[in-house]
Amino acid sequence: MPERVGIMGGTFDPVHIGHLRAAEETVEALNLDALFFMPAADPPHKTGKKIQPFKHRWRMLQLSLEGHPRFHISDLERRLPGKSYSVITLRKLREEVLPGAELFFLVGLDAFLELDTWWHYKELFQLAHIVALRRPGYSGTEIAGFLKRKISDLYTLNAETAQFDHPQLYPVHYLHNTHLEISSTRIRHLVKEGRSIRYLVLPEVMSYIMTKKLYHLESLIIS
Ligand SMILES: Nc1ncnc2c1ncn2[C@@H]1O[C@H](COP(=O)(O)OP(=O)(O)OP(=O)(O)O)[C@@H](O)[C@H]1O
Ligand SMILES: O=C(O)c1ccc[n+]([C@@H]2O[C@H](COP(=O)([O-])O)[C@@H](O)[C@H]2O)c1
């Protein structure tokens, strides 16, 4: 039986419990054998924005995932040249890194409803199952209309499995994960204002941010 492998792409600047809990609930709900966090080296929609170097974002992920039996990190996008387009990453995974595996690509509902702005976005649905994660501020009722308008009007909701099926393309799953109103943007702002981020990130990540002075006012001014 081919392995069922989740891929969670992100900037992870920094990784927070919104990411971690959504990933945990996906692994459980969809019975995944493994889930790879895939930090983007050059996130296409963050061009020109200041993001922390890959090594810090990578280390914070490592600290967060340590000891988890099914969570792993991949440095594939750091090794690929150019912008971190998800279609390129998924092609590479299917063709070379994980041939034979069944891939599940996780995206928050905010990102899902903007998938039509991604590079060669229609191909995503030929490469992997898409898992749309609930996120406060975005409604799952928009998924059906989005699929119909932007991808294919042959997607239909299967009431039994609560997923959208298609005769040729991969299914789209809408996960009823816990609503956690947490974003990396909010965490960066809290640090900058000298406020607490305890319980929004793992303790090891909080210590790392403090020790390395990431997101602090001084570090933002100097660099
Ligand atoms: N609280 C959350 N609940 C569900 N999904 C989330 C949550 N936070 C982020 N995600 C999803 O995780 C993926 C990676 O997110 P990303 O690293 O950009 O974090 P972010 O918190 O959205 O960051 P930023 O605020 O800097 O844009 C995206 O698909 C995003 O939609
Ligand atoms: O492929 C694209 O065109 C594309 C456009 C925007 C975002 N992505 C990916 O989506 C993930 C989340 O991106 P972001 O900017 O919300 O952190 C990350 O893995 C990006 O590489 C991918």
**Coil, strand or helix at 144:** helix
15 lines ligand 1 (CB under 6 A): no
CA separation, residue 77 to residues 47, 58, 63, 66, 207 (Å):
15, 12, 19, 21, 26
Residue 113 Cα, ligand 1 centroid: separation in angstroms? 13
Work out the average pLDDT over 46-67.
95
For atom 6 of ligand 1, the residue with the nearest CA is 108
- Of ligand 2's listed atoms, the one at least distance from the Cα of 39 is 19
39 lines ligand 2 (CB under 6 A): no
Q: What is the interface pTM, i.e. ipTM, of the complex?
A: 0.98
Kindly indicate the confidence band of residue 94, based on its pLDDT and cuts at 50, 70 and 90. very high
pLDDT 10s digits, 160-217: 888 999 999 999 999 999 999 999 999 999 999 999 999 999 999 999 999 999 998 7
pLDDT of residue 48: 83
Give me ligand 2 centre to Cα 1, in Å: 30
Q: Compute the radius of gyration of the chain from its Cα atoms.
A: 18
Question: Which of 15, 52, 75, 84 gets mutated to test ligand 2 (max ligand atoms within 8 A of its CB)?
Answer: 84
What pLDDT is stored for residue 160 in this prediction?
Answer: 85
- Give the position, in ligand 2's atom list, of the atom nearest the Cα of 77: 21
The pLDDT tens digits of the residues spanning 61-93 come to 999 999 999 999 999 999 999 999 999 999 999
* Three-class SS of 33-58: CEEEEEECCCCHHHCCCCCCCHHHHH
Give the pLDDT mean for 2-23.
96
Q: What is the pLDDT of residue 34?
A: 97
pLDDT grade for 2, boundaries at 50, 70 and 90: low
- Percentage, residues of the chain above pLDDT 70: 96
- The pairing of beta strand 129-133 with beta strand 172-175: parallel
**Predicted pLDDT at 219:** 62
| Ligand 2, atom 16: closest residue by C-alpha | 10
Report residue 208 as tokens: 């790392």
CA of 43 to the centre of ligand 2 (A): 5
CA of 124 to the centre of ligand 2 (A): 12
This prediction's pTM = 0.96
CA 90 to CA 84: how far, in whole Å?
11
For the chain, the average pLDDT equals 94
Domain positions in the chain: 4-222
- On whether the 4-222 domain is CATH 3.40.50.620, my answer is yes
Tell me the backbone φ, ψ of residue 198, rounded to 5 degrees: -55, 140
Using CA atoms, how far apart are residues 216 and 191, in angstroms rounded to an integer? 6
